[in-house]
Amino acid sequence: MAKERTTWYRFIRWIARHLLIRFFTGGMRVVGAEKVPKIGPVILAPNHVSFFDPPVVSCASPRVVVFMAKEELFKPPVFGPLIRSLNAYPVKRGKGDTSAVRLALSELNDGSTLILFPEGTRGDGKTLLPMQAGVALLAQKTGASVVPVGICGTHKILPKGAKLPRFSRLKIVFGKPFKFEEVGGRTAFSERLEREIVEACHKAGLDVKTASQHESRTEPGSDGIGTETTPPGPA
């Protein structure tokens, strides 16, 4: 479990935050870290625009985190064992990876903090992709507190499609935690999570919109009401 590797994790996180991130970004500002519950299961739910997002959120979080990564990242002989030692677990993309779901449930039931990107894949930094069902499912089954997170800057450092990193400052904003039971229903939960991630992004300085906001336009003869985002189905 994550807590068994706390010393090693914190050592590598210190190096990443004070040396690597500072070298590539010139600094990282973290807002609202005190909102992350100190005990109990927590799901950190950030927007996702870059491969740089997991280490950035890990460094910003006041708690040791667990995160899932695509299985291809575990194949390189040095990088793979390193991220595994830092509480990363492989996930088979495009498949119903029940082992990954069981592992996430086990970690949360053990009181861990899990990073889970609700969009499921990287976006363009302009439009938040529709919320997938994973966060709602895990929050419902474990009673975990869900913390919306806004990340600004990684979309410039290593955006989707880029091969080389660029220089940009970072700002990470943690929103107010909430639980599935406070909302009632996966559709309502996903809608609230989407709104609060967008709000956290705006506070971080990233002008991101939801898919429905991006697609809606006022046209001649229309009433100006945007279309609704299709709610995610069951996992």
Whose structure tokens read 């903090």?
113
pLDDT of 177 above 60: yes
- How crowded is residue 123: how many other Cβ atoms within 10 Å of its Cβ? 20
- How crowded is residue 116: how many other Cβ atoms within 10 Å of its Cβ? 22
pLDDT of 160 above 70: no
CA 6 to chain CA centroid, nearest Å:
21
- What is the per-residue pLDDT across 71-116, written as a single tens digit (0 to 9) for each? 888 889 898 889 988 988 888 766 566 888 899 999 999 999 999 9
pLDDT of 2 above 60: no
pLDDT of 232 above 50: no
- What is the per-residue pLDDT across 30-50, written as a single tens digit (0 to 9) for each? 999 999 999 999 999 999 998
Q: Is the model more confident about 159 or about 30?
A: 30
In this prediction the pTM is 0.84
Q: Judging by DSSP bridges, how do beta strands 145-152 and 88-91 pair with one another?
A: unpaired
Q: Which residues contact 212 (CB under 8 A, 6 or more apart)?
A: 226, 227, 228, 229
Q: Contact at 8 Å (CB) between 45 and 117?
A: yes
pLDDT of 157 above 70: yes
pLDDT of 132 above 70: yes
pLDDT at site 110: 95
pLDDT of 225 above 50: no
